[in-house]
Amino acid sequence: MMSRLAPRWPAWLFWWQAACPQGVSAQQRTWAGASRIPGPGGPWGATGTSPLVRRGSSSASSCAPEVVLTRERYSVRRLPFSVVSEDDLAALERIVPGRVITDPEELEAPNVDWLRTVRGSSKVLLRPRTSQEVAHILRYCHERNLAVSPQGGNTGMVGGSTPVFDEIIVSTALMNQIVSFHNVSGVLVCQAGCVLEELSRYVEERGFVVPLDLGAKGSCHIGGNVATNAGGLRFLRYGSLRGTVLGLEVVLADGTILNCLTSLRKDNTGYDLKQLFIGSEGTLGVITAVSILCPPKPSAVNVAFLGCPGFAEVLQTFCTCRGMLGEILSAFEFMDAECMKLVGLHLHLACPVQESPFYILIETSGSGAGHDAEKLSGFLEQVLGSGLVTDGTLATDQRRIKMLWALRERITEALSRDGYVYKYDLSLPLDRLYDLGTATCIST
For residue 4, the 8-state DSSP code is: G
Output the CA angle 35-36-40, nearest 5 degrees.
160
64-78, 97-111, 121-135, 351-365: segment of lowest average pLDDT: 64-78
Secondary structure (DSSP) of 175-216:
---EEEE-TTT-EEEEETT-BHHHHHHHHHTTTB--S---TT
Q: What is the pLDDT of residues 142-151, one digit of tens each?
A: 999 999 999 9
Is the confidence at residue 170, as pLDDT, over 60? yes
Secondary structure (DSSP) of 28-53:
PB--TTPEEE--SSSPPPS-S--SEE
Domains (range + CATH), the chain? 70-171 (3.30.43.10), 178-266+273-293 (3.30.465.10), 300-423+430-442 (3.30.70.2190)
Q: What is the pLDDT of residue 42?
A: 36
Is the confidence at residue 40, as pLDDT, over 80? no
Q: What is the pLDDT of residue 411?
A: 66
In this prediction, residue 346 has a pLDDT band, given cuts at 50, 70 and 90, of confident
Q: What is the pLDDT of residue 282?
A: 86
CB under 8 A, 24+ apart: contacts of 93-96: 95/126, 95/128, 95/133, 95/136, 95/137, 95/140, 96/126, 96/127, 96/128, 96/129, 96/133, 96/137
